[in-house]
Amino acid sequence: PKPPRHSDPADPGPGAPGGLFAWLRGRCLGRGAAVDPARDTFGAMTGLYGAIQPADSVSLSTRTHGAVFNLEYSPDGSVLTVACEQTEVLLFDPISSKHIKTLSEAHEDCVNNIRFLDNRLFATCSDDTTIALWDLRKLNTKVCTLHGHTSWVKNIEYDTKTRLLVTSGFDGNVIIWDTNRCTEDGCPHKRFFHTRFLMRMRLTPDCSKMLISTSSGYLLILHDLDLNKSLEVGSYPILRARRTTSSSDITSSGSSGPRAVGSPCHQNNSGPLSEKSLSRPSQREGGSPRNRLEVLTPEVPGERDRGNCITSLQLHPKGWATLLRCSSNTDDQEWTCVYEFQEGAPVRPVSPRCSLRLTHCIEEANVGRGYIKELCFSPDGRMISSPHGFGIRLLGFDAHCSELVDCLPREASPLREIRSLYSHNDVVLTTKFSPTHCQIASGCLSGRVSLYQPKF
């Protein structure tokens, strides 16, 4: 029997367009008047950013720790960790701006990235090719050191469900570490994936996809991710390579080849993706195998006829989009771009539609050429904090800091500048939102870390 209709003519009922089902779907997607309390809370927090000002500096003048390459808050926001150029990791109380601890010899070379596994355990990676595990309750010694990479390790991700640590380096390898069986001698590990020119690797919040960016302008997406299955080049189904908007093949994308990006000594000496490996057909035509690989050359404004390098890769906290920082091979332009994930059934099994669509972009200051600038989303995904010269810019999808799903344009639109904040005397390389407080941290080339929070 058909469901009974409501007597109110303004309510078409659950089975009609705009009825109950559409209302529920709109609520889940963040559309409509009724939203979850968490979104209301983040909406109020976003409003506070209008009053944000430089608050304090947590730089240490007594130590030469070099440039700040990465910042990371603990999940509860109680600790701010700083990855430094000269082997050190600094820990601060972000509320009082007090120095907690300096890990003076955390590694034997530059510390590149920090990732918290929970509120007490965190991992660091370095140009010394190792990953170290640390416990906030006992910082005098490492929990263990992980050996497996053969070149500089640049990125750490973590799957909280499986407790698998995922790292990537300039050796082109993505390695999986089983922290469930971790000992003082390390963790069991295996090489999961390999590609050349690897720059950054990220997992979506639900760990259903892995994204990999390269210095030759490619973006690789592994769909229906299965971290328990090791992959080799040519052994997995490959979707047709194409640009994010024009569906052209990767071999005619206009990329002019690789380029060294990073600090002056940070170079990737791997080679490009081979044309042979990209032309291998899917093992299961029309099916949905795990770890399907899609290779894209993201559309970047002003870069249609020249190659570009994807130097920074971040993901929307709700998994709706990816955020890229791109620079031209000639180093004369730099862009921040947002690409929406286009989910759903493919148009054709043999040639599915592109998974990403460029929605917003903005040109950057292009100061400090050759250095990687790490940008980030706010915890609610409404704002972007981007290094911009000697400061940072807060960017929104519109002037009201609306949700991405509420302001998706038909064609790529410029990101809106909400606020510019300057408190450094050198090029800003990294920035991070606190996950729990209305606070932003930024670090620069000369080693200064600045905090920003509301002032009334």
In a domain, 400, yes or no: yes
Decide if 79 is inside a domain: yes
The answer on 431 and 342 residing in a single domain is yes
CB neighbours of 32 closer than 8 A, spacing ≥ 6?
23, 26
- What does the alpha-carbon distance between residue 338 and residue 357 come to, in Å, rounded to a whole number? 8
Does residue 52 share a domain with residue 160?
no
| Nearest 10 degrees: Cα torsion 350, 340, 303, 378 | -150
Question: Which among 151, 171, 194 is the end of a domain?
Answer: 194
| 430 and 319 fall within a common domain | yes
Residues 383 and 368 in one domain: yes
CA proximity to 217, closest of 300, 329, 297, 275? 297
Does residue 168 sit in the same domain as residue 308? no
Residue with tokens 């390390």, as numbered in its chain? 186
In this structure, is residue 39 part of a structural domain? no
Q: Let me know whether 359 and 448 are in one domain.
A: yes
Domain assignment present for residue 110? The answer is: yes
What is the predicted pLDDT for the residue at 353? 64
User: Could you report the per-residue pLDDT of 367-408, keeping only the tens digit for each?
Assistant: 888 889 999 999 989 999 999 999 999 999 998 888 999 888
Which range has the worst mean pLDDT, 37-51, 261-275, 297-311, 390-404?
261-275
Does 56 share its domain with 182? no
Residue 142: give the domain boundaries. 68-194
Give a yes or no: residue 241 inside a domain.
Answer: no
187 and 314 in a single domain? The answer is no
- Express each pLDDT in 153-209 by its tens digit: 999 999 999 999 999 999 999 999 999 888 888 889 999 999 989 999 999 999 999
Say if residue 51 is in the same domain as residue 83: no
The structure's pTM equals 0.79
Q: How many residues does the chain have?
A: 456
The answer to whether residue 283 is domain-embedded is no
What CATH number is given to the structural domain containing 177?
A: 2.130.10.10
Question: In terms of domains, do 310 and 186 share one?
Answer: no
Q: What angle do CA 20, 26, 30 make, to 5 degrees?
A: 145
51 in the same domain as 154: no
Q: Which of 194, 218, 249 is the last residue of a domain?
A: 194
Residue 282 lies in a domain: no
Please give the tally of structural domains in the chain. 2
Query: Do both 52 and 148 map to the same domain?
Result: no
E strand or H helix at 40, and its extent?
Answer: helix 37-48
Q: Which of 170, 194, 218 is the last residue of a domain?
A: 194
